[in-house]
């Protein structure tokens, strides 16, 4: 169990530490020697080395959360939590909006200065005709998931603009890498290949292109945001280019090494209620991240797929939150 942070190594608090993004953020923070505390409803499934802080942020009082955080004297709070897979509209609101409202109020109430890094999504932009998605574009999301994430972004950026918190929002596209959930496209396909390598059921992917980022590069961006002298309200963290998803699936099949015979492809319908409803196929403009954070993606899609496949064969609990 991690100890409370010292003056030279203040504690980093991570919400959603047991999820896909949060788990990798914790690993990156721990690699720097920083104490990490994980705020979660249940202590089970948290990454090794994290100090558990049992608390249900979506239901708890902000003052009570501030009281739980105060003894840790955190210098950084990362929100990688949120409702994402197999949830109702009410659960999306609770996990993506109410949780962030209460977190911001709790961080604001802490006596010592704290930096807040919130993980947003590129789906907040919606469809634009521009060649790339820059932070200056208006956000006009269509799907309920993206709408609730935009509401959270506005809560964070408003608090920062009013000087109530020091905060930034990292907007990420489709993330790949170790411990990706089974509910995601590539995570589900990897588990199919591990369990039944002779057959692969695919939704329609013809012409579908997405900006893909290794989740470990996202974690590195969190570290950059934690130490940046200036914090833009919103920063894109992506690869800056589009990749055909069909090609990505082919690469995963090769990495899985299913033998001399390629799996039989069974075409199925598109899943209902996709979280990327209304998202266009435009890459993120990552110039601001380069200029303000000195950040750039260091890993390729192939790197991410190798890590994804490696973690698929390691038993772990699937998470339903970011």
pLDDT tens digits for 79-105? Answer: 999 877 778 899 999 999 999 999 999
pLDDT at 72: 94
Residue 274 is predicted with a pLDDT of 60
Res 322 pLDDT > 90? no
pLDDT of residue 275: 61
Condensed to tens digits (0 to 9), the pLDDT of residues 167-179 reads 999 999 999 999 9
Question: Model's pTM, two decimal places?
Answer: 0.91
List 116's β-bridge partners, or say none. 77, 167
Of 20, 145, 293, 295, catalytic? 145
> What's the pLDDT at 313?
66
User: Is the four-CA dihedral 135, 138, 142, 144 of positive or negative sign?
Assistant: positive
pLDDT at 257: 86
Q: What's the pLDDT at 32?
A: 95
Task: Specify the pLDDT at position 315.
Answer: 44
**Annotation marks residue 145 as catalytic:** yes
Average pLDDT over residues 117-127: 96
Domain boundaries, the chain: 12-177+211-241+281-298
Q: Is the pLDDT of residue 316 over 70?
A: no
* CA 178 to each of CA 40, 70, 120, 202: distance values in angstroms, whole numbers, following the listed order: 20, 32, 19, 21
Give the CATH number of domain 12-177+211-241+281-298; options: 3.40.50.720, 2.60.40.1080, 3.40.640.10, 3.40.50.10480: 3.40.50.720
- What are the tokens at 307? 């890590």
Residue 275 vs residues 174, 197, 227, 314: alpha-carbon distances, Å: 11, 27, 32, 27
Q: What average pLDDT does range 285-301 have in this prediction?
A: 98
DSSP 49: T
């Amino acid at each position: 169990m991690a100890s409370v942070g010292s003056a030279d190594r203040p504690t980093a608090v991570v919400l959603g530490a047991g999820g896909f993004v949060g788990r990798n953020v914790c690993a990156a923070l721990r690699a720097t020697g920083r104490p990490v505390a994980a705020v979660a409803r249940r202590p089970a499934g948290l990454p090794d080395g994290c100090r558990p802080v049992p608390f249900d942020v979506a239901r708890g009082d902000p003052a009570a959360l501030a009281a739980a955080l105060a003894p840790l004297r955190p210098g950084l709070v990362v929100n990688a939590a949120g409702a994402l897979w197999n949830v109702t509209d009410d659960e999306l609101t609770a996990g993506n909006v109410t949780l962030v409202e209460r977190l911001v109020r709790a961080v604001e109430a802490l006596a010592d200065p704290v930096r807040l890094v919130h993980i947003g999504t590129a789906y907040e932009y919606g469809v634009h005709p521009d060649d790339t998605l820059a932070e200056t574009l208006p956000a006009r999301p269509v799907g309920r998931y993206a709408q609730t994430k935009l509401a959270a972004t506005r809560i964070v950026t408003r608090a920062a603009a009013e000087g109530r918190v020091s905060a930034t929002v990292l907007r990420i596209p489709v993330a790949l890498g170790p411990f990706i959930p089974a509910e995601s496209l590539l995570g589900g396909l990897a588990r199919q290949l591990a369990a039944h390598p002779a057959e692969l059921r695919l939704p329609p992917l013809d012409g579908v292109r997405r900006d893909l980022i290794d989740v470990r590069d996202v974690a590195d961006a969190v570290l950059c945001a934690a130490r940046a002298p200036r914090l833009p309200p919103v920063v894109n963290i992506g690869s800056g280019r589009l990749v055909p998803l069909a090609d990505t699936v082919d690469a995963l099949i090769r990495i899985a090494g299913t033998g001399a015979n390629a799996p039989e492809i069974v075409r199925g319908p598109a899943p209902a209620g996709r979280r990327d409803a209304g998202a266009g196929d435009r890459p993120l403009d990552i110039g601001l991240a380069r200029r303000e954070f000195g950040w750039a993606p260091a890993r390729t899609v192939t790197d991410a797929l190798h890590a994804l496949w490696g973690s698929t064969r390691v038993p772990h609990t699937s998470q339903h939150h970011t």
